[in-house]
Structure 1
Amino acid sequence: MDSVASVEKRRKVGNPLALAVLAWLMLGPMHPYELARRLEESEQDRNIKYNRGSLYMVVKQLAKAGFIAEQATVRDTQRPERTVYALTPEGRAEMRDWLSELVARPRHEYPHFGVALSLLAVLPPDETVRLLTARNAALTAEIAEIRGRADAAIAQGVEWVFLVEERYRAALLEAESGFVAELIEAMRDPDHVRKWHEQFGSRS
């Protein structure tokens, strides 16, 4: 059976920032400055790493690929000349195909915490408990921050569908927090502590 990764398409512009640009241009033509403002105001910059330089680079790549096209040049005496870009039919098709793939197909990713877990056995159990307890405190604080920000946005009239990525992040963090709490209890198990000292105690 083919793996998920084997059926993923190679994109002409594979940066996730490109997908965000295509999606925002569904609302209408914009210049990169406006796109950056929208990304920041919607807090999508929390999920997509970028800076102004990388945004302009992605816009150029999308234009070269034929997914967006220059529509007009805005001249303002108080600001530099700005090029307005519009979504092309090819860009609309690419956006829908790419987004559909990401929604429907799970991807195997390699978070740093997974690397740490694969090597966790070499740390003393008491130290591991201390570190995991600190992590869980940080997770709890982050979950509260996300929930609070989402509740405030809803109170201001923002539709829930525009906050779904925040709900997803909170759900993932809550699941991780539950896992970490279980792992802490496992690390405190006297049988595990005894076996660790038998295997690693003399080498630590």
Structure 2
Amino acid sequence: MADDRTTLRRPERAELPAVAEAYTAANLHDPVLSWVIDDEDARRRITAGPWRETMVAYLDSVLHSGELVIAEDESAGVAGVALWEWTDPAPATGTSPLQDPEGARFIEHAYGEYADRMKQLMELTGRRRPDASAYWYLLNIVVAPRLRGQGIGGAMLRTHLRRLEAEHAPAFLEASSPRNRRLYESFGFADCGEPVELPDGPRLQPMWRPAAADPDRSRSKG
């Protein structure tokens, strides 16, 4: 479990550059980002430049239209970041990021020569998103490498799931590894269809959590 040195909270807007820096560092060897930008030197170059620049604007949009949770360690600063998006597919709420010119420019600027790989990822995962009801979507949850295995990821997850319980809202995500899948299962998520197969990349398992699941039943580490 995360200990008393770790505080879970929403960041202030002025803190977003620091949050973006921590988020970028924690993502460097993420299996999905490593598939999108499969050359490590290019990944370091892009995440140190345009990707990090656009991340501040991206986190700002999540802060205002979704939910952004950070774990703050008293000695290490931002130790983890969780990004949630509220999704309501029932009404016609607009175009997808790939159809929206501003969203397309965002992807082109952030990923450069790897933008097409990111678009492919979004197309493959977008086909598997639920379309029957409104739900919270876990965009990503990351923990600083040196602090993993201490329950920080699970604590961030539990924090937002308690809000979902109060709202009687379901949740959806894609697990990018067997370890993450086991963690999510312990919080009431279950497999939702077959995995998304990234060509020569990781298998992403769609998972669904009904509104009635209990976020406090698990004390797993993350």
Shorter-chain TM-score above 0.5: no
Q: Identify, as 1 or 2, the structure richer in strand.
A: 2
Larger helix proportion of the pair: 1
Q: Which TM-score applies when normalising by structure 1?
A: 0.25
| Structure showing greater relative contact order (alpha-carbon pairs closer than 8 Å, 6 or more residues apart) | 2
